[in-house]
Amino acid sequence: MSKPRTRRCAVPALLALLALVAGCAGDEPPPAGGERASPSAAAPAAPTVPPAGIRVDETARTVVVPAAVSKQGQYAQLRGVIEYVLVAEGGKQYETLFLTPHRAEEIHQALARLGLRRGRPATAERLPRGQAVTIEVEYEAGGKTARRPVATFLTEQATDKAVGPGRWIYTGSEETRDPGTGAPLLAASLTQSIVGLHTGDASSLVQNAEPASRAENFYRAAAEALPPTGTPVRLHFGRPAVRADPARRRVHALFSGRVQDVGFCEFAERSARMLDLVGFVQNLGDGRVESVVEGPAEKVADLLQRLKQGPRAARVEGVVIAEEPLQADFETFDYWN
């Protein structure tokens, strides 16, 4: 039996700016057996009217991405299940809340301007690791502007219960190779996955960090809360609010020498957790080790002193330390291996 395909439809002039309504998709739905369709790397046709641009406010630490509400329940075999909050055109728009005309690369570049660093996508053993972001949805309703947390528009598929505030981690997508040229690129450039609900898609720029993200078929749209299909929306990505605190300190540190494959990162993680600090440590491709540490100033200084010595097998030859503004975007200290 051949796969059903989506059908192009007319879009009202009012929504031409965001010609994104589901049912106007060009991607294939999953087969009747329920298997997911392979993501398409082909670029979609450009919208008739150029979309409004992404807005970056580095002072307010926000990125605003224009999008539209995607049609829900396009395929009966999915039973209303969705696995994305936001995808770009060419992504899996039949199982997302919102669809944007902006490519994943554009959104990735915009978020990087907020000082976000690439983290680590989720694996079978752990939830995603990285810096926390907030996501709110703004739209017009009844002549007024509404702005709500994105979790407002999600519910449990099995129980129809609300899912809570949600936790979102910027991982920056995993890396892959361009299938045509072999050049390195972000996997999100191929899948156009922006905000993923299920940890199985490591290409998403932002991943859901709730334990439920590991469950299959967990989320669906909250039908009563979600605006009508095609409604223009603006997704506000932000960094958690933080208050100035002279007793706290945040630093970015780079360590060079014999610091890889000698237990340095494990030593850093163990030491930082003993001191109740937050942040991360990771190996870099050039042989150095990078770390961001935040917490009480005296404990940060204590950790840096320990890391300048390193574990017994290490030999730290150079340390570059830069002070950073407090961010409050880490909950633990992790080795991003």
> Domain-by-domain residue ranges, the chain?
13-31+50-238, 248-335
Task: Tell me: pLDDT of 32 over 80.
Answer: no
Task: Tell me: pLDDT of 299 over 50.
Answer: yes
Task: Tell me: pLDDT of 189 over 60.
Answer: yes
What global pTM score does this model have?
0.77
Q: Say which residue the tokens 């890396």 belong to.
A: 175
Q: What residues form DSSP beta bridges with 186? A: 175
Calculate mean pLDDT across residues 52-64: 89
Determine contact, residues 114/58, Cβ cutoff 8 Å: yes
Percent of the chain with pLDDT over 90: 64
Q: Identify the CATH class of 248-335.
A: alpha beta
For residue 4, what pLDDT is reported?
Answer: 37
For residue 30, what pLDDT is reported?
Answer: 53
Calculate mean pLDDT across residues 222-227: 93
More confident residue, 38 or 81: 81
For residue 37, what pLDDT is reported?
Answer: 38
Task: Tell me: pLDDT of 25 over 60.
Answer: no
Query: What three-state secondary structure class fits 132?
Result: strand
Determine contact, residues 109/222, Cβ cutoff 8 Å: no
Distance CA 72, CA 75 (A): 9
